[in-house]
């Protein structure tokens, strides 16, 4: 995906997308955009090309900005040329935004460069299945057999025929060959062999199927040296993230960078409180406080939203001392242009309590905007120190609707998830209330907690956390998960 592609998705009224498009890309679309799936799979009858053309014409004809989202590059075996020609004939203006073709991206993720100056200086990209309506092939097999690297797109079904055609036209049977399925995804699989043997090898590999590409040439041998992606610690691992969607994105990216397939299952929804009256009243008299204490990123976001909506801005906080429970919360505060006065070494309420113990809190007024339901240890201890504490509800957390829980339950029951992550006690409580009968099977999944409070909630429910970082941040949690599975990978080797 290119930056230009993302810009178009962000402003389009309609997004028409294919089977091979990574669903994560749809997150760049506007929330109110019409999302239409028109995917095509080998051997599965879905929308015809004519229907897709008519759909594009219809939506554009209504004055809509339409993004036609395709996998890879739309002009490389993607029928982009056909669709563009149809729009042109109808007088509908369009632009083409090239993508990254799977012909180069997929081999790169399998550790196979298409060219290498010591191996080959040429490559060709060919369809793996020509139109069966053709009377004879128009692929120049005699030329193809002399080219260093040949890439067949969607070539699994016809691999036996295509390899035979190469050999019949002079390609040595011992030429290295590879088949890569679901390339660039965390569950990609690769089979290697030779032009003469790869078809037989594929019959024994249950994990290789469409969508896949075939690569032939000496460059395939370089995979032994530069197979970088499959060596990532979380490659091939499914990690379930239960964090609220509003906060999950950075965590998801960290896990994906380590090679994980991330399953989003937010068990918490951040919703407005029943009434903002309490928070608004505190904001109107915010100058009466000595301390403003934030215990979560969400608390920061909601407080500043209401501050602006009340017609005020950060100047109202002049003279107040600001405390944050952790690094992420402090970062959000500082983005608002406000300096954090107090940040504990240990990112939890107990850490803040210890820091406040060094301050003279007698008679000090403290405002804590937070979730409706949260641990009371901080306000209780501050009052014991002589402070006057006002706790106001800035937001509420709720369990999501049933939605995808059935799909997640099936994956858990089939032992298809390697790790489940918990970033707060409420994620533990909500997850276990959604799946009350669930128990880990044969040590899977590994349960990972952001810190000791979350771990205690899990332990009190009868479960054991295998992963808890020493520093209570999502960055450290992601690293600990990677280290945990990285060790098990090394043991297998």
Pick the CATH number of 238-268+401-492 from 3.20.20.70, 3.40.50.10090, 3.40.50.2300, 3.50.30.40: 3.40.50.10090
Domain spans of the chain, in order of start: 3-97, 103-231, 238-268+401-492, 271-398
Confidence band for 40, pLDDT divided at 50, 70 and 90:
low
What pLDDT, on a 0 to 100 scale, did the predictor assign at position 441?
A: 84
Q: pLDDT by residue (tens digit) across 208-225?
A: 988 899 999 999 999 999
Catalytic entry in 18, 163, 171, 381: 18
Catalytic entry in 70, 154, 163, 237: 154
Neighbours of 98 (CB within 10 A): 14
What pLDDT, on a 0 to 100 scale, did the predictor assign at position 37?
A: 93
What pLDDT, on a 0 to 100 scale, did the predictor assign at position 449?
A: 96
CB 74 within 8 A of CB 96: yes
CATH class of the domain whose range is 271-398:
alpha beta
Catalytic entry in 13, 40, 167, 321: 40
Share of the chain above pLDDT 90, in %: 69
Question: Does the annotation mark 336 as catalytic?
Answer: no
Confidence band for 421, pLDDT divided at 50, 70 and 90:
very high
Pick the CATH number of 3-97 from 3.40.1010.10, 3.90.1150.10, 3.50.30.50, 3.30.420.40: 3.40.1010.10
**Fold equal for 238-268+401-492 and 271-398:** yes
Average pLDDT over residues 60-71: 94
Confidence band for 489, pLDDT divided at 50, 70 and 90:
low
How far apart are the C-alpha atoms of 168 and 176, rounded to whole Å? 16
Q: Say if residue 344's pLDDT is above 80.
A: yes
Q: pLDDT by residue (tens digit) across 96-113?
A: 999 999 999 999 999 999
Q: Say if residue 45's pLDDT is above 80.
A: no
Average pLDDT over residues 467-483: 93
Q: Say if residue 1's pLDDT is above 90.
A: no
Confidence band for 6, pLDDT divided at 50, 70 and 90:
very high
Question: Does the annotation mark 18 as catalytic?
Answer: yes
Q: What is the mean pLDDT of the chain?
A: 91
CATH T-level topology, domain 103-231: 3.30.950
Residue 438 CA neighbour count, 13 Å, CB half: 26
Q: Say if residue 374's pLDDT is above 80.
A: no
Please work out, in degrees rounded to the nearest 5, the angle formed at the alpha carbon of residue 259 by the alpha carbons of 253 and 264: 50
pTM of the predicted structure, to 2 decimals: 0.78
Question: Does the annotation mark 476 as catalytic?
Answer: no
Q: Quick one: CA dihedral 112, 113, 118, 124, positive or negative?
A: positive
């Amino acid at each position: 995906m290119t930056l230009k592609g993302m810009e178009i998705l962000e402003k389009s009224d309609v997004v028409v997308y294919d089977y091979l498009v990574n669903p994560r890309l749809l997150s760049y679309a506007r929330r109110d955009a019409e999302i239409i799936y028109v995917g095509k799979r080998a051997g599965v009858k879905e929308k015809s090309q004519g229907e897709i053309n008519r759909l594009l014409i219809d939506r554009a004809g209504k004055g809509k900005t339409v993004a036609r989202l395709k996998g890879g590059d739309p002009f490389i075996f993607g029928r982009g040329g056909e669709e563009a020609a149809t729009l042109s004939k109808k007088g509908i203006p369009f632009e083409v935004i090239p993508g990254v073709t799977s012909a180069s991206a997929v081999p790169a993720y399998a550790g196979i460069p298409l060219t290498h100056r010591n191996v080959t200086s040429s490559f060709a990209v060919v369809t793996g299945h020509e139109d069966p309506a053709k009377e004879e092939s128009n692929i120049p097999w005699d030329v193809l057999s002399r080219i260093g690297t040949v890439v067949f797109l969607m070539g699994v079904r016809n691999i036996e025929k295509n390899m035979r055609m190469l050999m019949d036209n002079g390609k040595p049977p011992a030429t290295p060959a590879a088949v890569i399925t679901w390339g660039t995804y965390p569950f990609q699989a690769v089979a290697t062999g030779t032009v003469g043997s790869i078809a037989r090898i594929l019959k024994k590999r249950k994990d290789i199927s469409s969508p896949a590409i075939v690569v032939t040439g000496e460059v395939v041998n370089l995979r032994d040296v530069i197979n970088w992606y499959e060596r990532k610690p979380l490659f091939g691992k499914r990690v379930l993230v239960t964090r609220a969607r509003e906060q999950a994105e950075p965590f998801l990216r960290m896990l994906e960078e380590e090679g994980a397939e991330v399953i989003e299952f937010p068990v918490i929804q951040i919703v407005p409180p029943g009434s903002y009256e309490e928070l608004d009243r505190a904001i109107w008299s915010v100058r009466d406080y000595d301390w403003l204490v934030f215990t979560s990123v969400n608390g920061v976001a909601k407080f500043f939203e209401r501050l602006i909506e009340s017609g005020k801005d950060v100047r109202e906080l002049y003279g107040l001392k600001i405390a944050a429970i952790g690094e992420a919360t402090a970062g959000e505060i500082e983005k608002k242009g406000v300096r954090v006065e107090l940040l504990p070494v240990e990112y939890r309420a107990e850490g803040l309590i210890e820091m406040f113990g060094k301050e003279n809190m007698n008679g000090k007024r403290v405002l804590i905007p937070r979730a409706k339901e949260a641990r009371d240890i901080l306000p209780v201890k501050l009052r014991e120190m002589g402070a006057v504490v006002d706790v106001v509800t800035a937001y509420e957390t709720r369990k999501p609707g049933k939605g995808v829980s059935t799909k997640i339950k099936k994956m858990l029951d089939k032992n298809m998830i390697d790790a489940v992550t918990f970033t707060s006690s409420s994620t533990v409580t909500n997850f276990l209330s959604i799946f009350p009968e669930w128990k880990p099977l044969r040590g899977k999944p590994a349960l990972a907690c952001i810190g000791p409070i979350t771990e205690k909630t899990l332990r009190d429910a009868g479960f054991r956390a295998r992963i808890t970082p020493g520093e209570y941040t999502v960055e450290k949690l992601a690293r600990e998960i990677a280290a945990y599975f990285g060790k098990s990978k090394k043991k297998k080797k």
